Structures are given as C-alpha cells and as structure tokens.
C-alpha cells in the first residue's frame, strides 16, 4: 500500500498557518450574550470552575470528530494569557472524578459489547459519556480562593447517533451546576459564565441572577478554543459573532418540542415552514436570544442606506461606523424581508454582510444583494414557485429583532418563477401551523417597483440529460462490462482492501483494481470541522497500515482484544507514520462568524490538508437545518436558516474545490434532523416546507459552487428511503438544480432493514458506502436477473470513474 502519511512528526509550516486560521475563526465565532461592562477582563487571579475548564470540548463526537496534535483548554488558554488560576484544587478533584467516571462508563459499555456486532456498535452510538458536574462549591472554598474574579465553564458533549434530552445534564442544567453557578454569582464581584456546547441549553434557572455579569457562548471552537476565548475575554479580540440559531427561553417554547424524537417511526414536521425565528417571530414568542443576535465591546451605527433594483436583484449599500471610543471591531449587517400573504412567516433572512475590522470612528460602506426569487413561496397545489404581488418590507439591522425598515419592494403582478412537479409530497396529512402576514409598509422609506417583465418562467424539464464525462472517462468506459461497473458502484468497505493508496483514518475507499488502467482508488474522509485522520499509524513490512491510537470515541467502547487483534497496529513492528491536521471551530460556530470569506479560507485550508494526505472526498459540509435544539448533530450543521446555511456551505465548497480534484460531499440529503432512529425514521414533511426550508441550502450550493458529491441521508422522506428516492436523487438534484456529480449513500444505509441497494442505484445513487464485496455481488446478480439495467450501472460507474480520474490522486 502507498500512502502520503509522513515518517516525521515535526510540526510543519502548514500546521502553524492553519492553526492561526483556526484561531481567527474561533475568535470570530464567539458570541457575547450578556455583558454589563465586566468584560473585557485584564489578566488577574482567577477562580475557574465547571466541566469545561480543563475538559474543554472542541467539537462533538462521532464522525464529526477531528484528531489533533493538541487542543487548548480554557484553563490553558487563560494561563497563557496571564491569568493565575487559584482553583486548582477543585480542578484536580474534577479531573479525578472525570477519569473515574469515564472508566466506569467504559466498563459498562464494553460489557455490552463483549461480542460486538455491527448492530450492537450502532446501538452504542446512542450512549455518550456525560461529563460530571464536579464537587459542590463550599463557602469555605470560595472564601479561601483569594480573588474576586471567577469564570464558570458549562459544557455539554453531543454527537452522532443520539439526541440531547429535555432533562437535567442534557438540555437543562444539573442541580450541582445551578448551585455552583449561583454560589459563584453571589460570591464573586466579577463573574462570567462561558457556555461550551454545540447547541443552546436552557438558561432559565439563571434568570434574574444579578451576579452573572457576562455570558459568553463560546460553543465548540476547535483546537484553539482556549486561546481564542482568552483573547476575547481580555479584549485582544472584540467579539463579532452572531447567533445562527435562536435560543428559546425554555424547551416548551420550541414548536412541537414535546413530539421531537418521540415516535419511533415518524417525525411529523407539524411546524411546517415555521422553524426557528420564523416560528418565534410569527407567533410572538420571545426567545431568550434571537437569531442573529450578538454583542460587541464597541457600538456601531448604520446610515446612508440605499436600495435599488437591477433586473431581478435588489442591491443594498449602507455605511457602518464604529461609534465606540476604545475598541476596534466588526459588525454584521443583516437584511430581512417580510413577505405578504395568507401563510407566510413574519420575516426571512435574505442577505448579510460583515464589515472589516473598524477602528473607533472608522466607517465602511458595505454592499449586499439578493435575487428577488428568495421572496418566493412554493404553491403546492400547482407545484409552482410563485412571487406574489404585493408590498414586501425590507429591514436592515444587527439581529433579527433589531432592525429598521429600509425599503418597500412592490411586486406589481404575481409571477410564476418555476413550474415544477411535486416530487416528495407527504403521504400523511400534516396539520401545520399557519400565519397570515400583512407587513406594515412604512411611508418614509423608498418604494421599489418591480414589473413582471424582469422575470421569466422556467419550465423544469425532467427528461434525463446525457452525462457530461471527461475524455479519459469515455476512453476507459469503452472496454468495460457489468463486471467492471459494479466494482465502482460500491466502496471496498470501512477497512478497504490491502492494496492501492491509503490515507490512514479514511472511512471509505474505492476499488484499487484499476490502478494500472489509470483509475486510482481514492479515499473518503470525515468530517465538517476538519478532516478526521489517524495521527499515528504503523506500516508493516508487507505494506499494510494500521492505526496506533484509538482515534474515534466509538472504538473506545470495543473490548481490548478486538481493538488489538483487528484494529490497532503495533508500533514496535513497523515504521511509524504521522498525519497532523487542523480542528477548526465546528460548523455551528463557523456560521456564527457570518463571514463567508473566512469560511472559504477554511475550505482552502482543508483542501490543502486533503492534498497533503491524499484525501479525495471530504464528507462535509453537513447542511441539515437545525430544526430542534436537541438534535445531537446540531454542532455539525450551520443554522436554522436556509440562506445562512447555503451561504456558509457554498463558501466552504468554493474553498475545498478551489483545488481541482478535491471534492466536498454535501450531506445528509435530506431532512435528517434527528439522530434517534435515524436509520429508519420517516421525516414527514410537506413539499412546500421542504422547498422553502430544508432544500434551498443544498440547492444554493449545487447551483453556485458545483459540489462534486452529495450524500443521501439514512432516513426516509415521506415514507421513501432517501437513497431510494428517484425524486430526490435524480429529479430534484439533477433535473431541477443541474447537479452533475456523484450521489453516495450514507454509511451502512444499505442493509436488510434499511434502504435497498438495487433500488438506490436505480433511483440515481452512484456509490454505495462503505460498500464491500457483498454489495458488488448483489448488484451484479440484480443485473443478471434483469432487476437492474446495465444502463443504470454504467451511468453510476461512469459518474464515479469520472470523479476518480479527475481526482488529485490520479496524478
């Protein structure tokens, strides 16, 4: 086997550079939620408590994990910034409790996995070590710590395979956490709460507590988290992050929250289009912190706002001034529109722009534009995308609840923008919420008239188009038969074959049987906050490669005999190989930067690391909409809003694919919005909701950045497994949006009681992952029996081969 992993563990120049980028993104993703002036805080003697002080969570668990050389904890970052931590006793006791708790937890899961079957492992993905809250703080301990400054770090781990719960220690704070936070708030003159979670938590027990002088949502910031938070707390970096999801006051405010993950076979999306702020704003429910919200150490003003139309786009410009006296900072200008109609949300985000760093007194003119089509609605009865006549109010501001009207857009006549077919209509009746919207159009703002003749109606043509293939692909396909095609339509298993090229840590591999014909085997690697690779591996004399470390938490659950016989290698018996990559802030925090230029640079950095270690498909970005704060993978996704999601994913796709032959994989397509029963649940969503909330992000990336791959989700959509849905995998993706890459399944989607491989290939899936000999045989047999056409196999193989021959690995 050949590899690009290196024989040295020296820190490279690329690592240093990307670490700085991770730091920059982490600083920019932090959201200041509350501050009565206590921040910034100069380095001082500091009492530090809470699970995340030392065990700071850099990112969630499961396939979203990234293995790094070192991740900086809050304690480490604060110490490096000059704070003297005076609560080391508590922290040391916590350390011992954490380790003992972890040991006990692992003993329990290993007992259940004494004979690990795929199903048992899968079931254990639903188990997560829950960090203890630590000792209750005593008055004596607080009195003796000798400082008036304190930080408490509240943490939650979450991840693949399990959702959070509406319970203490999960979405709620635990009794000990509440009591310790209250004790700190009472005792210390300067007390700051840091929240180190991938999704909102319920802060209602802290309501009205005077002594909490600042709350900072640090989220999960990747490997530079501790340094970044220190930089923001001390004023080295002025916070400029804004929330990408709404924080409800309490879980009972979440629409149909009580039904989330409750039914084992159906998730009925009763809230319809009213997701996140669309719900809170339309139904007058005050969130704790609204979508788009975030404070700064300085203040900003927006003026000289101008709005004009150019054809079917609206162009806006405005001047942003840093009106503060002391701190430089950045501001996010957000544009929302209230659309008129019987069943419309109060407002939707249509565009945003972030300023550069403005010094006190400095101004910048910023521009943002949007196509008028973002104001459309999907009319299910006629399967049309419509722009209704009426007056639309455009507002600008710095959060969804802090805006001023800046223009009225008057659509003169109703316009049909697109004539579709209903593709994924729900089969069960969904009694959805509705909200009549009649935006009040103020007189004092300019009105922009939009005549109907600036639009054209697009009739979607669903007839299959000929594949666009490279010359090289055409050539190799010429001599191939079904026996060859099937080998490209399935991967070679999680472990892969013992030949060809290998990136240690890859979770998928394509066939290595055709290397001599110029078709490389390529590697597929997770995950959205970076690439998950093995840091240390060993290569034996026969060329085979084994990892040395337990590099994904699920492996820790395996009995040690399995680990040592089947997974881990012995470093003393071969040559050591190293790979060191960067853990960036999780996508939920990247979205909080509202900085697409920065996210594109993260994409470029990931692409560089892919090139260095030979990764072809990056299994990200995760683009599911944050529908409910309990979803275990919220940290891997960007936002509750499709425009913010789409813009972020487009930026990272541009970055990754800026190098030819490095591909993104948009996932999980689509409506994979809970982890409970994710392999079988049917997301029952009406077509309008799909087209207005859950699909536009994917559509934006496909149209604007031509991603090379899409991963079909595990779940069923309105009763049909996503990979088996021709409507999703072919009609929507290819006919409607023009996608021309590879559609792959999610890992182990194809199982007897999950989706069917043959039906999936027929419907437009090209690659079954992680695949294996069994899948190859099943496909060949199905073709022999006439259940799968040669044309379908050839089409799928052609798309995969095209990606392979165009990959960097081919060089």
For ligand BGC, the closer of residues 368 and 717 by Cβ is: 717
Smallest distance, ligand BGC to C-beta of residue 769, A: 7
Smallest distance, ligand BGC to C-beta of residue 526, A: 5
Q: Which of residues 150-169 bind ligand BGC (CB under 6 A)?
A: 160
Q: Is the Cα dihedral 198, 202, 205, 210 positive or negative?
A: positive
* Burial profile 776-786: b = 16 or more Cβ within 10 angstroms, e = fewer: bebbbebbeee
3-class SS at 692?
A: helix
Among 619, 625, 626, 656, binds ligand BGC (CB under 6 A): 619
- Asked if 668 and 714 touch (Cβ cutoff 8 Å), the reply is yes
- Asked if 771 and 494 touch (Cβ cutoff 8 Å), the reply is no
Measure the CA–CA gap between 715 and 204, rounded to whole angstroms. 33
Q: Is the Cα dihedral 581, 582, 586, 591 positive or negative?
A: negative
Binding mask 490-519 for ligand BGC (x = CB under 6 A): -----------------x------------
247: β partners: 289
For ligand BGC, the closer of residues 134 and 707 by Cβ is: 707
Measure the CA–CA gap between 402 and 299, rounded to whole angstroms. 14
Could you list the beta-strand ranges (E) of 436-517. Answer: 447-450, 458-459, 501-502, 508-509
Smallest distance, ligand BGC to C-beta of residue 99, A: 28
30 DSSP 8-state letter: -
Q: Is the Cα dihedral 380, 383, 389, 390 positive or negative?
A: positive
Q: How many CB atoms lie within 10 A of CB 541?
A: 8
Length of the chain: 811
Smallest distance, ligand BGC to C-beta of residue 702, A: 19
Binding status of residue 526 toward ligand BGC by CB under 6 A: yes
For ligand BGC, the closer of residues 64 and 287 by Cβ is: 64
As given in the structure block, the two tokens for residue 255 are 């629409």
Measure the CA–CA gap between 484 and 790, rounded to whole angstroms. 11
Binding mask 409-448 for ligand BGC (x = CB under 6 A): ----------------------------------------
As given in the structure block, the two tokens for residue 574 are 């071969």
Binding status of residue 254 toward ligand BGC by CB under 6 A: no
Distances (CA, A) of 772 to 217, 464, 778, 799: 43, 29, 10, 19
Measure the CA–CA gap between 135 and 89, rounded to whole angstroms. 11
Size of the site for ligand BGC (CB under 6 A): 8
For ligand BGC, the closer of residues 63 and 653 by Cβ is: 63
Binding status of residue 345 toward ligand BGC by CB under 6 A: no
61 DSSP 8-state letter: B
Smallest distance, ligand BGC to C-beta of residue 551, A: 12
Q: Which of residues 649-668 bind ligand BGC (CB under 6 A)?
A: 667
Among 281, 727, 746, 756, binds ligand BGC (CB under 6 A): 746
Binding status of residue 747 toward ligand BGC by CB under 6 A: yes
As given in the structure block, the two tokens for residue 299 are 């203040």
Residue found under tokens 């209509």 = 425
Smallest distance, ligand BGC to C-beta of residue 626, A: 16
- Asked if 678 and 711 touch (Cβ cutoff 8 Å), the reply is no
Among 63, 231, 355, 657, binds ligand BGC (CB under 6 A): 63
Distances (CA, A) of 731 to 81, 621, 765: 55, 22, 12
Measure the CA–CA gap between 157 and 632, rounded to whole angstroms. 9
For ligand BGC, the closer of residues 160 and 731 by Cβ is: 160
Sequence-separated (6 or more) residues with CB below 8 Å from residue 16: none
Counting DSSP H helices and E strands in the chain, the numbers are 21, 33
Binding status of residue 637 toward ligand BGC by CB under 6 A: no
- List residues binding ligand BGC (CB under 6 A): 63, 160, 507, 526, 619, 667, 746-747
């Amino acid at each position: 086997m050949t590899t690009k992993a290196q024989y040295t563990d020296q820190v490279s120049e690329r690592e240093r550079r990307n670490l700085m980028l991770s730091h920059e993104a982490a600083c920019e993703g932090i959201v200041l939620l509350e501050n009565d002036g206590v921040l910034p805080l100069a380095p001082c003697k500091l009492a530090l408590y809470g699970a995340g002080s030392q065990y700071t969570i850099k990112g969630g668990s499961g396939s979203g994990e990234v293995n790094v050389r070192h991740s900086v904890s809050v304690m480490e970052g604060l110490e490096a910034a000059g704070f003297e931590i005076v609560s080391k006793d508590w922290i040391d006791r916590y350390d011992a409790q954490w380790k003992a708790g972890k040991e006990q937890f692992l003993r329990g899961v290993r007992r259940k996995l004494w004979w690990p079957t795929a199903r048992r492992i899968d079931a254990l993905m639903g188990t997560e070590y829950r960090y203890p809250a630590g000792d209750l703080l005593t008055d004596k301990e607080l009195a003796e710590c000798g400082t008036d400054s304190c930080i408490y770090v509240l943490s939650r781990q979450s991840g693949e395979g399990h959702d959070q719960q509406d319970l203490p220690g999960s979405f709620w704070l635990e009794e000990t956490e509440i009591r310790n936070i209250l004790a700190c708030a009472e005792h210390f003159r300067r007390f700051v709460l840091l929240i180190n979670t991938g999704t909102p938590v319920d802060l209602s027990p802290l309501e009205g507590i005077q002594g909490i002088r600042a709350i900072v949502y640090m989220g999960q910031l990747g490997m530079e988290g501790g340094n970044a938070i220190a930089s923001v707390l001390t004023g080295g970096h002025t916070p400029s992050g804004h929330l990408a999801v709404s924080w409800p006051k309490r879980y009972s405010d979440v629409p149909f929250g009580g039904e989330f993950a409750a039914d084992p076979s159906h998730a009925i999306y009763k809230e319809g289009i009213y997701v996140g702020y669309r719900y809170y704003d339309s139904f007058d429910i005050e969130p704790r912190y609204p979508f788009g919200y975030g404070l700064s150490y300085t203040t900003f003003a927006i003026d000289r706002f101008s709005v004009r139309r150019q054809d079917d786009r609206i162009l806006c410009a405005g001047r942003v001034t840093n009106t503060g006296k002391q701190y430089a900072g950045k501001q996010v200008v957000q544009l929302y529109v209230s659309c008129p109609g019987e069943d419309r949300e109060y407002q939707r985000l249509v565009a945003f722009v972030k300023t550069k760093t403005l010094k006190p007194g400095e101004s910048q003119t910023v521009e943002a534009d949007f196509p008028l089509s973002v104001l459309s609605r999907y009319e299910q009865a006629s399967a049309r995308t419509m722009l209704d006549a009426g007056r639309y109010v455009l507002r600008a501001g710095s959060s969804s609840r802090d805006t001023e009207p800046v223009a009225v857009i008057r659509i003169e006549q109703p316009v049909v923008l697109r004539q579709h077919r209903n593709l994924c209509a729900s089969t069960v009746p969904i009694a959805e919420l509705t909200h009549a919207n009649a935006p009040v159009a103020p007189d004092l703002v300019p009105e922009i008239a939009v005549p109907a003749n600036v639009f054209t109606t697009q009739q979607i043509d669903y007839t299959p188009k000929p594949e666009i293939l490279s010359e090289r692909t055409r050539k190799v396909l010429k001599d191939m038969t079904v026996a060859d095609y099937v080998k490209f339509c399935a991967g070679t298993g999680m472990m892969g074959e013992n030949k060809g090229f290998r990136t240690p840590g890859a979770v998928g591999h394509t066939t290595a049987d055709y290397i001599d014909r110029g078709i490389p085997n390529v590697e597929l690697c997770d995950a959205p906050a970076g690439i998950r690779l093995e840091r240390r591996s060993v290569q034996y004399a026969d060329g085979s490669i084994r990892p040395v470390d337990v590099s994904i938490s699920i492996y820790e659950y395996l009995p040690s005999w399995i680990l040592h016989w089947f997974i881990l290698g012995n470093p003393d018996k071969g040559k050591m190989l190293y790979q060191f990559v960067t853990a960036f802030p999780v996508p939920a925090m990247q979205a909080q930067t509202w900085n697409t230029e920065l996210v594109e640079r993260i994409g470029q950095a990931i692409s560089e690391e892919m090139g260095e270690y030979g990764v072809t498909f990056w299994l990200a970005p995760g683009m599911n909409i944050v529908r409910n704060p309990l979803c275990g993978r919220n940290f891997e996704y960007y936002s509750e809003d499709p425009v913010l999601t789409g813009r972020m994913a487009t930026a990272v796709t541009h970055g990754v694919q800026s190098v030819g032959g490095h591909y993104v994989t948009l996932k999980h397509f689509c409506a994979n919005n809970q982890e409970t029963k994710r392999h079988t649940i049917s997301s029952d969503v009406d077509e309008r909701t799909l087209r207005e909330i859950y699909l536009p992000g994917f559509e934006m990336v496909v149209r604007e950045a031509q991603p090379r791959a899409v991963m079909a989700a595990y779940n069923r959509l309105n009763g049909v497994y996503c990979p088996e849905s021709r409507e999703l995998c072919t009609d929507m993706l290819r006919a409607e949006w023009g996608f021309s890459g590879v559609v792959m399944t999610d890992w182990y989607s194809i199982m007897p009681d999950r989706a069917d491989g043959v039906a999936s290939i027929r419907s437009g899936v090209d690659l079954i992952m992680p695949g294996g000999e069994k899948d190859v045989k099943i496909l060949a047999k199905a073709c022999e029996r006439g259940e799968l056409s040669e044309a379908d196999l050839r089409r799928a193989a052609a798309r995969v081969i095209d990606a392979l021959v165009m990959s960097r690995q081919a060089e």
